[in-house]
Structure 1
Amino acid sequence: MREAALPQFIHVRGAQRLSTPVQLLEDESREQRPARDVVLGRLLEVLLIEALRSNTGTSASTGLARGLADERHSSAIRAMHEQPAKAWRVAALAERAALSRTSFFERFNREVGMAPMEYLIAWRMALAKDLLSRKEGGIAEVAERVGYGSASAFSIAFARHVGQPPSHYAREQASLRTARSSMI
Structure 2
Amino acid sequence: MIDPFSEVVMLLQPGAPFSKIVSGAGAWRVSREESGQVFYCAILEGACLIQADEHEPITLQEGDFVLIPSAHNFAMSSLEPPPDGVDAAPVALPDGEFRLGVLDVPPDVRSLVGYCVFGAPDAALLVPLLPQLVLARGESRLMTLVQLVGEECRARRPARDVVLARLLEVLLVEALRTTSESAASPGLLRGLADERLSVSIRRMHEMPARRWTVAQLATEAALSRSAFFERFSRIMGTTPMEYLSAWRMALAKDLLLRGGRGLADIAERVGYSSVNTFSVAFTRHVGVPPGRYARRP
Q: Provide the TM-score with structure 2 as the length reference.
A: 0.48
> Mind listing any 5+ residue stretches in structure 1 that lack a counterpart?
32-39, 176-184
- TM-superposed deviation, 1:136: 4.7
Alignment partner for residue 104 of structure 1, among 191, 206, 228? 228
Match of 1:178 in 2: none
**Per the alignment, do residues 56 and 133 of structure 1 end up closer, same or farther by CA in structure 2, a change over 3 Å counting?**
farther
Match of 1:181 in 2: none
Match of 2:37 in 1: none
Contact residue 139 and residue 151 of structure 1 kept, 8 A: yes
The percentage of counterpart residues that share the same residue type is 58
Higher strand share: 2
For residues 102-141 of structure 1, what are the structure 2 equivalents within 5 Å? 102-141=226-265
Once residues 154 and 48 of structure 1 are traced to their aligned partners in structure 2, the CA distance between those partners, rounded to angstroms, is 33
Once residues 174 and 216 of structure 2 are traced to their aligned partners in structure 1, the CA distance between those partners, rounded to angstroms, is 29
Q: Provide the TM-score with structure 1 as the length reference.
A: 0.75
Correspondence 1:65 to 2:189: yes
RMSD between superposed Cα atoms in Å = 2.8
Structure number, greater radius of gyration? 2
**Per the alignment, do residues 129 and 29 of structure 1 end up closer, same or farther by CA in structure 2, a change over 3 Å counting?**
farther
Amino acid paired to 1:65: L
- TM-superposed deviation, 1:54: 1.1
Number of residue equivalences: 161
Once residues 234 and 200 of structure 2 are traced to their aligned partners in structure 1, the CA distance between those partners, rounded to angstroms, is 15
> Mind listing any 5+ residue stretches in structure 2 that lack a counterpart?
1-124, 153-158
Once residues 128 and 91 of structure 1 are traced to their aligned partners in structure 2, the CA distance between those partners, rounded to angstroms, is 25
Question: Deviations along 1:22-75, whole A, 9 cap, x unmatched?
Answer: 97xx989738xxxxxxxx7xx95x765543321131331011111111110010
Once residues 58 and 128 of structure 1 are traced to their aligned partners in structure 2, the CA distance between those partners, rounded to angstroms, is 32
Alignment partner for residue 30 of structure 1, among 148, 162, 167? 162
For the residue of structure 1 that corresponds to 2:215, the secondary structure is helix
Higher helix share: 1
- TM-superposed deviation, 1:147: 0.7
**Per the alignment, do residues 103 and 8 of structure 1 end up closer, same or farther by CA in structure 2, a change over 3 Å counting?**
closer
- TM-superposed deviation, 1:14: 4.1
Contact residue 199 and residue 221 of structure 2 kept, 8 A: yes
Match of 2:293 in 1: 169
Match of 2:203 in 1: 79
Amino acid paired to 1:127: L
Once residues 52 and 169 of structure 1 are traced to their aligned partners in structure 2, the CA distance between those partners, rounded to angstroms, is 30
Using the TM superposition, name which of 55-64 and 108-117 deviates more: 55-64
Question: Deviations along 1:75-129, whole A, 9 cap, x unmatched?
Answer: 0000000100011111111111111000000110111111101111111001111
Match of 2:19 in 1: none
**Per the alignment, do residues 47 and 73 of structure 1 end up closer, same or farther by CA in structure 2, a change over 3 Å counting?**
farther
